[in-house]
Structure 1
Amino acid sequence: MLCAIPIEIFAREMDGALYLALHLAARGMPTILGERMVDRYVLESRSPVAYFDSDHSQFNDAQVLARGGMVFDLHPEGLNLLDSPQVLTKYLNMAPKVSHLCTWGEGQADHVRQALPSDLRGVVRATGHPSFDLTSERFVPYYRDESIVREHGEDFLLINTNFSYYNHIMGLDRYVEMLGKTTGQEIFNTPEHLAFVRSLASYQAQLLEPFVELARTLATAFPERHVILRPHPTEGHDYYKSRLGDLPNVFVKHSGSVRQWIASAGAVIHHDCTSGVEALLMGRLTIQYRPVFDAEIASTIPALAGLELEDAASVVDAVRAGSMPQAKFEEQIGTLKPYFANLARPASRTLAQLAGAFGPEGGKTDLPRPLGLWRRLGCWRKHLSKVIRAHQPGSNGKKVRYALGKFPRIAPREIESRLDALRRCEPELPRVRLEALALNTFLVVPEAC
């Protein structure tokens, strides 16, 4: 059976998608993955497809199921245990329309099941997410970026901010308006969800300046070390640059994936961001900075990761200490286990087993073919149009730059390099061949096929 993994944000999702594709290949299943053309291939396929839906796409899901395929609702941002009812509603709405409603762990699965009628609870599965399969010290070499080390050293201090509602690169109103016009995101048009979004933005507004001041404090306390402030991919950077530009050892960075920065950081500081969980699992000193903290608004699962510190002086002391006490680390891992199934079993293995059980392993699959010349040219025309429009002033240019930032043009050799690096970390993964089907769309095929 052909598997399909559409990807919205390259830096956030591609590594997990490739790792899942390798596990699917181990069961004889090829995978198409990448940007928007993945959905085009899926909708044009006449054969059953295993579709890993990352965006609650009800229309695509219905088409896949109607053709005898299966749908895994596998959202990359997961579901925090005490998320607002408005966020939970997205998952509840998907339950009748998918084969498997996947959650990060049993804690979230129980939360969803309790809100569903009894006849739908069976679709909820605590599979974990493939992305978190790679958050272990074993995969640190995969993420290590020597160019980062050359520029910033081995012990830089990484501050990850996650204040994208208040500090969104497009502006909150325009962002919400855009989402409200997107199929499957109509919830952003409801008064209840808008109220939730604005309360979250108001909360985040209280955190920006304390995090800026923390960066300044750390830069002064550790003048020989670099302080990297890395905003969420959808955040604007000007706020931070305008307030920290006078400090020679502070850098506002957004290139690469957050794990490339975590891999060589001396300490990672966050508020309620999943990067805190990633840093903890990757063996880094992790600090959850709480100058302001509202447990009803802050994400409850990321808030479980890191030393809980309320003032900058305490952060300085923790950085000087250099590591989290082992007892505290073990306590936090135990607390996280109900919410991350990956800590017990790789999500990619679980998902591949579920997909493989749908049909005979190694069965014949009709492989998609590369686009013809005219359709390839059409893809390039759209991409080049975006590149040109990204230089426009004002909100239109910002919107296009935002889209390009989510998924820049990726060469096949970059994907091949990542597949090889994953196999170096886990040699038992199967050999595969890669084929470029379209711009930013790739086919991973078991070598034996």
Structure 2
Amino acid sequence: MRFTQRFWAHRWSKTEPMSSRPWLLLPIETKHREFYGKILLSLAAAERGFEVLLGEQNAMLSQLDNLPQGIYLDKSVGRTKTKYFKRLDARGSRIVAWCEEGLVYRDRDAYLHERVSNASLALANRFFAWGDVQANDIHKQAPEADAKVRITGNPRFDMLRPEFRSVFTPAADKIRQCYGPYILINSNFSRYNHFMGYDFWIEALKQRGTITNDEQLAFYYRWRDFLGKVFHGFIRVMPALSSAFPDRMLLVRPHPSEDHATWFRETAALNNVTVVHEDSAIPWIAGADAVIHNSCTTGLEAYLLGIPVAAFRPAVDETFDSYLPNAVSHEAVDGEGLIETLRELLAGTATPPPSAQSEVNRYVAALDGSLAADRVADALIEISLRCELQKMGPIRRARIARENTVSALKPMLRRIRRSHKATSYAKQKFPGIELSEVEHAINQLRDASGRFAGITSTRSPFRHCFRICKT
């Protein structure tokens, strides 16, 4: 359907007010990572009487002046967020946030410097922490924000709980039917093997104000160099893994921000190695016989799903290694050790490290009991919000149409100003959302939970955005 048809075909009539109910504005940055968790939060909020606007982060940011007043939940409180938070606050919206990167980070001080801005946090009414460890680290950075921090966990990890695993069973079965038995290799090297090039990460940190002096620059150069050693260690071990496990496919799943072409090129000669990156990581993990990673959240996800997991560490640095994913994994530092570890994992003779669960409990809340989605939704109810009727009159519609058109043209403008690669990178992180996907996910979560009756989704006037509410 063409853009103009999509805009006028939505179900909000020309005279219907947007809603007198409170709005939750829920942007998605990286679709494969966030989609299901934010659908689940949308449903929990809709149960409590919220209207939810769910959709692409960039599309929402382009429409800040046209969005309904509501509670805007951002994926971080980095320094680049401050200007958007100020605009939302000036329009009468309330800001809440969590940090998608706040569970697994390599160096605490670097994480706080890079991801937690006191100015952005000051503008937030609530901050939802993954668990005790992140909440304590946030306290060290901003003790003045203690009253707004809630330890809720993250709805992303609700999807790993037993009650929701059936959501991904059909996809996991389909993957195994396609590839047969396989070992999943998750890479996490975007700071070295970035889609936009070798220098992109460092230059982006300079532009954001994260790197402001030579000492910081040297630190991030060391970090990138370390990741390069690990990355090339993975590349070097691939032929040995391929030969050691000829009866299994080796599926390499790069990070969403990585240059996947590098992996295709480096593994092209290995017959039982394939590079994949479709959909959420969860069904790929759930269908695997074993998972290999290095300092990656997917290692923790594999542990929580009960999948045997190995951390391959061809280079080691206490500053730049992520503690938690490695702590729940069986570690190997060279190819021979990795192959032996995998054989033990596949034979079922290796059990998780004894301290794994106690460490996970320090870092991750809501692994049992109330869902993280419910804990967050309950906290949203605490926030005082003035609900104003906002009519969809012709002027407002014209403004929305204009911004939608600009947003739709941005890929073309990127190609002109920067390169086709910038557009491809944006599409790799967010390939778009169709209404049918939203409806399908809602039905899956309804079936798995026995909840959410009467909650529906419709297309909104905003590009790549959808309205979820109780009818």
Counterpart of 2:116? 91
Contact persistence 2:132–2:151 (CA under 8 A): yes
Counterpart of 2:29? 8
Q: In the superposition, relative to structure 1, how do residues 150 and 123 fare at CA in structure 2: closer, same or farther (>3 Å)?
A: same
Amino acid at match of 1:331: S
Within-5 A mapping of 1:285-300:
285-300=308-323
Counterpart of 1:148? 175
Q: Give the alignment's Cα RMSD to 1 decimal.
A: 2.9
Amino acid at match of 2:260: H
Within-5 A mapping of 1:389-428:
396-428=419-451
Higher relative contact order (CA 8 A, sep 6+): 2
CA–CA distance in 2 between the matches of 1:3 and 1:351?
12
Give 1:179 deviation, angstroms: 5.3
Within-5 A mapping of 1:19-58:
19-35=40-56, 36-45=58-67, 47=69, 49-56=70-77, 57-58=81-82
Give 1:315 deviation, angstroms: 2.8
Quick check: 1:386 aligned with 2:416? Answer: no
Contact persistence 1:215–1:229 (CA under 8 A): no
Counterpart of 1:436? 459
Amino acid at match of 1:114: K
Name the stretch that deviates more: 403-412 or 371-380: 371-380
TM-score, normalization by structure 2? 0.84
Amino acid at match of 2:196: M
Contact persistence 2:155–2:372 (CA under 8 A): yes
CA–CA distance in 1 between the matches of 2:276 and 2:413?
24
CA–CA distance in 1 between the matches of 2:400 and 2:62?
12
TM-score, normalization by structure 1? 0.87
Quick check: 1:134 aligned with 2:159? Answer: yes
CA–CA distance in 1 between the matches of 2:434 and 2:324?
35
CA–CA distance in 1 between the matches of 2:66 and 2:205?
26
Give 1:178 deviation, angstroms: 4.3
**Residue ranges of structure 2 left out of the alignment (5+ in a row):** 1-21
CA–CA distance in 2 between the matches of 1:170 and 1:368?
42
**Residue ranges of structure 1 left out of the alignment (5+ in a row):** none
CA–CA distance in 2 between the matches of 1:248 and 1:311?
22
Q: In the superposition, relative to structure 1, how do residues 333 and 75 fare at CA in structure 2: closer, same or farther (>3 Å)?
A: same
Quick check: 1:199 aligned with 2:184? Answer: no
Counterpart of 1:249? 272
Contact persistence 2:194–2:200 (CA under 8 A): no
Tell me the secondary structure at the aligned position of residue 289 of structure 2. strand
Tell me the secondary structure at the aligned position of residue 341 of structure 1. coil
Give 1:238 deviation, angstroms: 3.2
Within-5 A mapping of 1:330-409:
331-344=355-368, 345-359=370-384, 366=389, 372=397, 375-376=400-401, 379=404, 382-383=407-408, 386=411, 396-409=419-432
Contact persistence 1:92–1:112 (CA under 8 A): no
Q: In the superposition, relative to structure 1, how do residues 80 and 231 fare at CA in structure 2: closer, same or farther (>3 Å)?
A: closer
Q: In the superposition, relative to structure 1, how do residues 178 and 383 fare at CA in structure 2: closer, same or farther (>3 Å)?
A: farther
Amino acid at match of 1:439: R
Contact persistence 2:161–2:367 (CA under 8 A): no
CA–CA distance in 2 between the matches of 1:251 and 1:22?
36
Name the stretch that deviates more: 62-71 or 252-261: 62-71
Contact persistence 1:221–1:316 (CA under 8 A): yes
CA–CA distance in 1 between the matches of 2:175 and 2:413?
29
Contact persistence 2:125–2:383 (CA under 8 A): no
> How many residues are matched?
437
Percent identical: 27
Tell me the secondary structure at the aligned position of residue 355 of structure 2. helix
Contact persistence 2:29–2:430 (CA under 8 A): yes
Contact persistence 1:95–1:124 (CA under 8 A): no
Q: In the superposition, relative to structure 1, how do residues 196 and 426 fare at CA in structure 2: closer, same or farther (>3 Å)?
A: farther
CA–CA distance in 1 between the matches of 2:391 and 2:445?
24
Within-5 A mapping of 1:251-270:
251-270=274-293
Give 1:128 deviation, angstroms: 1.5
Tell me the secondary structure at the aligned position of residue 269 of structure 1. strand
Within-5 A mapping of 1:223-238:
223-238=246-261
